[in-house]
Structure 1
Amino acid sequence: MFRSALRLKTLVRPAVAQVNSIARLHAVPELPYKFQEGVKPLLSAEALKVVYGEHQTDLINRLNRLIAGTPYESKLYYEVIMDSAASATDAQIFNNASQAWNNDFFLRSLTPNKKEMSERLRKALADSFGNVETFEQEFKANALGLFGSGWTWLVEDQNQRLVLLNTYNAGTPHHRRRQQRFDQTSTDLNFAKAAQDPRSGNSTFSAPLSTPSSSSSSSASNAAASGLRDGNASGSYMPILCVSMWEHAYLTDYGVTRTGREKYLDNFFKTVDWDTVEARIFRVGGF
């Protein structure tokens, strides 16, 4: 059920355009809704202006300055993330590229028009979490367990299980070296620390991974061609849904308290575009 990451490279790559007359590099892609109106009930117009109009633009502009005149300048956006993730000296490039990708993925998971979950999607979530209510409860608990800035993800592993994953700062599910899953001050919840490693089998929602069978040569070649890493071999995952737990995402509308963050997460689930989530799981139309 793994969808080709090659398609992901094409669909999530920001359009090539000139930004602040720096170079013909990457530009902030438009959202599928009017950001001037916000995406309610999650983000007001003022909050979305911060998250998208200011933060996202600043990330892309800084990335363009960093890669101008380097070999990264001619790479696809996804290639910039993956290649800089593997480099010990390109942390700044990775941080800006990955953070912008995460932010864009988060915002594209939302809609101002309420969406109901299909029965097919309900079944997919129930197969991994028992039921939709448990999935939402544990997703929220995982997000609240982040002490500091980061992301909570619903991802698909190499065995086609849906599991939850926390990443700190600009951590990405795409590359094991830059997942940034661990922090000594990561949680005030007993199970959230284990939940940061979906392969641990210790969280309340992640069953232990079964030992994978050997891939056929055709499957292996398809995975290599797509750029996907094996879930067990490298710990990479296919992102399905994420929420930003960076302060700038919730501070404007919800303040800094835990109660505010809880309300932010409640409104997140009222604003998720479940059609988009379903398409990502079942590989319909891509990201």
Structure 2
Amino acid sequence: MITRPLTRPQSLLRFAFNHTSCASRSQSQRWAHSVPEDWNQRKIPTFQNLKKPQVFAKYGVPGFLSKETFEQTYEQYIKYLADQLNEFTAGTADEFTSAADLHDQCSHLPARAALYNHAAMALHTQFFFESLSHIPTSMQPREPGILMQNNLKEDNISVEQLRTEFLETAEAMFGNGFVWLMKPKSLGGLTILATYNAGSPWSRGSPRRDNRDMANHDFRQITRDIQEGNRNAGSHGNHSLHRALHYEGTLQDAEPILCVNMWQHQWLPDYGMFGRKAYLKAWWDTIDWQVVENKISLFEINEGSRSRSNNITSVLETASRRQHSLR
């Protein structure tokens, strides 16, 4: 958990720290795109806007990353992850399984931690680059769209306040990982989430605890610890319900709409050992807010459809009960 100085005002956004969850099925379905054929059969998401990788490969990410960094941290890195997944699954039942499905299926199987980690890093890296603009700031002012503005208004915060909270959280992150902006089902309630290493923001499955990698942890040891009787598992012990809820967080019904990559390999080449703050400032100025707007729109449409479906089901059940009572 990030500890804020006592002299700072209370945070305007709720912070949650999660070490992993597995990708939602709806998100997996959205990632139906495949990498080029020369990357073999491994399905990894690619850019929705095909102009972006062309511009990034030729010029770099305008005002943010050099073309050499893009080549190394995206093109070469994604290909490496895909090749590793292909090698791990060659000749197995998972040979043609997409990266998103591997991420979903392997998130809590210690024997398959390598599959999860490589798949998760591919998905998170793509998510990060997809949210970057290929148009220079001088040609296209950066400002959130109407849906994002509505959510900020509901939370009674400004864009500048969101920027400050988000960048301070990312700068305070100690170690590799990603920082995400999460959107719940309801209007407003935006949440900042930090995940470490290959930890995922998606809500399906149990989250990892921040102080251990649950994909590699022996759950039998947890059972033995509890059975020993000296772990103080009462109301507030290490294995109590209170402690479990503390790690679970409040993001089970939220979706990521934006993220920044805080792995060292992403910011060191262009910004140097002490350049994280400059990296973060440049990243914020490079956000493609239309991509964020599209993610909000898609999530709200899906939730609206599900809500209407639930309402229809409720009406039908009520009508059925009334008919049954009349009999």
1:152 pairs with 2:174? no
Change beyond 3 A, Cα 1:69–1:16:
farther
RMSD (Å), alpha carbons: 3.1
Unmatched runs of 5 consecutive residues or more in structure 2: 1-23, 213-244, 302-327
Contact map agreement 2:32 2:45 (CA 8 A) in 1: no
Alignment length, in residue pairs?
236
Which one has a bigger Cα radius of gyration?
A: 2
Aligned to 1:238: 255
TM-score (ref. length: structure 2): 0.64
Change beyond 3 A, Cα 1:74–1:49:
closer
Q: Whole-Å Cα distance in 2 between the matches of residues 94 and 249 of structure 1?
A: 21
Q: CA deviation at 1:237?
A: 3.5
Contact map agreement 1:154 1:164 (CA 8 A) in 2: yes
Aligned to 2:112: 90
Indicate the SS of the match to 1:43: coil
Aligned to 1:126: 153
1:282 pairs with 2:297? yes
TM-score (ref. length: structure 1): 0.72
Q: Whole-Å Cα distance in 2 between the matches of residues 58 and 42 of structure 1?
A: 23
Change beyond 3 A, Cα 1:183–1:143:
farther
For 1:99, which of 114, 121, 128 is the aligned residue? 121
Indicate the SS of the match to 1:15: coil
Q: CA deviation at 1:119?
A: 3.7
Identity %: 29
Q: Whole-Å Cα distance in 2 between the matches of residues 46 and 269 of structure 1?
A: 20
Q: Whole-Å Cα distance in 2 between the matches of residues 120 and 270 of structure 1?
A: 19
Change beyond 3 A, Cα 1:129–1:90:
farther
Equivalent residue runs for 1:198-213 within 5 Å: none
Contact map agreement 2:177 2:194 (CA 8 A) in 1: yes
| The 10-residue stretch of structure 1 (25-34 or 69-78) with the greater mean CA deviation from structure 2 | 25-34
For 1:167, which of 195, 218, 221 is the aligned residue? 195
Aligned to 2:265: 248
Q: Whole-Å Cα distance in 2 between the matches of residues 98 and 178 of structure 1?
A: 15
Q: Whole-Å Cα distance in 1 between the matches of residues 152 and 300 of structure 2?
A: 20
Q: Whole-Å Cα distance in 2 between the matches of residues 168 and 236 of structure 1?
A: 20
Q: CA deviation at 1:42?
A: 1.4
1:71 pairs with 2:93? yes
Change beyond 3 A, Cα 1:26–1:140:
same
For 1:264, which of 274, 279, 284 is the aligned residue? 279
Q: Whole-Å Cα distance in 2 between the matches of residues 71 and 129 of structure 1?
A: 50
Q: CA deviation at 1:14?
A: 3.8
- In the TM superposition, structure 1's runs of 4+ consecutive aligned residues that sit over 6 Å from their partners are none
1:12 alignment partner AA: W
Equivalent residue runs for 1:17-36 within 5 Å: 18-19=37-38, 24-26=41-43, 29-30=46-47, 32=49, 33=52, 34=54, 35-36=56-57
| The 10-residue stretch of structure 1 (82-91 or 124-133) with the greater mean CA deviation from structure 2 | 124-133
Q: CA deviation at 1:11?
A: 2.9
Aligned to 1:11: 30
Contact map agreement 1:167 1:179 (CA 8 A) in 2: no
